[in-house]
Structure 1
Amino acid sequence: MTFTVTDLSCRRGEITVLRDVTFSVAAGEALVLRGPNGAGKTTLLRTLAGLTPPVRGTVDTDVCAYAAHADGLKSQLTVAENLTFWARVFGRRDIAPAVHAFDLRALLDRRAADLSAGQKRRVALARLPLTARPVWLMDEPTVSLDAANVALFGRAVAVHLQTGGCAILATHIDLGLPDTRTLDVTRFAATQTDDTTDPFAEALE
């Protein structure tokens, strides 16, 4: 499996921020998105995930699982109930591998509302393997994780790569993943004139 993006232009609100993004990620590879705040990393990930329609270009949106900034947990459900819900959404029943990968056994009966920020993050990330989707898209996935749990997350991603998946993530942390490439999104920055039309000029035509 190769995840391919071709001539993709991405919009934040009414403004195109990235233009002509082209890359591919093969099975077993990780691609790390780099660039300063506001450069378009989140916009690109949301477009890859199919949450924001592209201005133009093509992307394989049907094979992705997306982990965003928000944890997206049901606060009144337990950890086990949250994971079971997401497993069933994707036609799965066994949450044990995800529980093991993210060391969640001691938290299974605890409500999401009662978890620390780092614990919530681990539960949110544990949904990724439950999707059984080959492409993981992740936006700053290690936020709120301590060093031990960053390492735990890195191992989970490494297993995903070893089993034929690929990963695209925005992060400033070296996860020690094999076969990792970087992509600086600033090289695809759209100019201010890309979306600009002068309504007064149009009226005079």
Structure 2
Amino acid sequence: MELNVSDLTVTRGGIKVLEDVSFAVKAGEALVLRGPNGIGKTTLLRTVAGLQPALRGEVSLDREQMAYAGHADGIKAPLSVTENLEFWAAVFGTGSIAPALQAFDLEALAARPAGALSAGQKRRLGLARMVVTGRPVWVMDEPTVSLDTSAVQLFAEAVRAHLAGGGLALLATHIDLGLAEARVLDVGPFKAKPPALEDFDGAFL
């Protein structure tokens, strides 16, 4: 399995932010996107994951092979930790949630309502959702937000286990996760040129 992105141009608000982005990620590898805030990393990840259309370019893999984790944790506050993970396991047709609970040290919190968790605990639950999807491609936008140092290590171990199992990961983060399997791509060189003034109104049509 290999994720190939070829000559991808992505837009935000009808205006190009990154253009002609190309990269490949093989099974067992992670690719970390780097660049200043606002350059378009989130837009690129959402486009690769199929959550918004590309202006042009191609993504080789079927989006049904991908699981996406964005800034929102994707949890239901009234449900317990266990019930949240069981819900996602049912959606994706996977089995036991025990590996996800263990990977993110949630076993002691299993019966607690998600709404009663701290910000860091909610983030761990949201990331544990990736484990229960069973999907081989993880696409993640700033996954370590709200995590303390120990939780960042839990996340890094979960990614490492995912890669060892034949998965791959594409993520944007400013944190060094210490992954030997990770490469870094600076998206700065792909920043789109500002539209010409006469083309500005047309960008919104």
Q: State if a TM-score over 0.5 links the two structures.
A: yes
Correspondent of 1:102 among 95, 101, 104: 104
Q: Distance in 2 between matches of 1:86 and 1:195?
A: 46
CA separation of 1:198 and 1:105: change in aligned 2, threshold 3 A? closer
Q: Distance in 2 between matches of 1:195 and 1:159?
A: 49
**Residues 101 and 128 in structure 2, CA contact (< 8 A), matched pair in contact too:** yes
Corresponding residue number in structure 1 for 2:33: 33
**Residues 8 and 55 in structure 2, CA contact (< 8 A), matched pair in contact too:** yes
Unaligned runs of 5+ in 2: none
**Percent identity of the aligned residues?**
61
RMSD of equivalent CA atoms? 1.6
| Equivalent position amino acid for 1:6 in 2 | S
**Residues 15 and 195 in structure 1, CA contact (< 8 A), matched pair in contact too:** no
**Residues 16 and 194 in structure 1, CA contact (< 8 A), matched pair in contact too:** no
What whole-Å deviation, never above 9, does each CA across 1:3-51 have from its counterpart, x for those lacking one?
1111111111211101111100001111010000011110001101111
Indicate the SS of the match to 2:135: coil
Corresponding residue number in structure 2 for 1:79: 81
TM-superposed deviation, 1:195: 9.5
Indicate the SS of the match to 1:141: coil
CA separation of 1:92 and 1:199: change in aligned 2, threshold 3 A? closer
Normalised to the residue count of structure 2, the TM-score between the two structures is 0.93
Q: Distance in 1 between matches of 2:152 and 2:158?
A: 10
CA separation of 1:123 and 1:190: change in aligned 2, threshold 3 A? same
What whole-Å deviation, never above 9, does each CA across 1:79-125 have from its counterpart, x for those lacking one?
11100000010001310111111111111110011000000000000
Larger radius of gyration between Structure 1 and Structure 2:
1
CA separation of 1:180 and 1:194: change in aligned 2, threshold 3 A? farther
Correspondent of 1:70 among 63, 69, 72: 72
Corresponding residue number in structure 2 for 1:185: 187
Q: Distance in 1 between matches of 2:72 and 2:181?
A: 28
Tell me how many residue pairs correspond in the alignment: 200
Unaligned runs of 5+ in 1: 201-205
Q: Distance in 2 between matches of 1:97 and 1:58?
A: 34
Correspondent of 1:150 among 145, 149, 152: 152
TM-superposed deviation, 1:194: 7.1
Q: After the TM superposition, which parts of structure 1 deviate over 4 Å for at least 4 consecutive aligned residues?
A: none
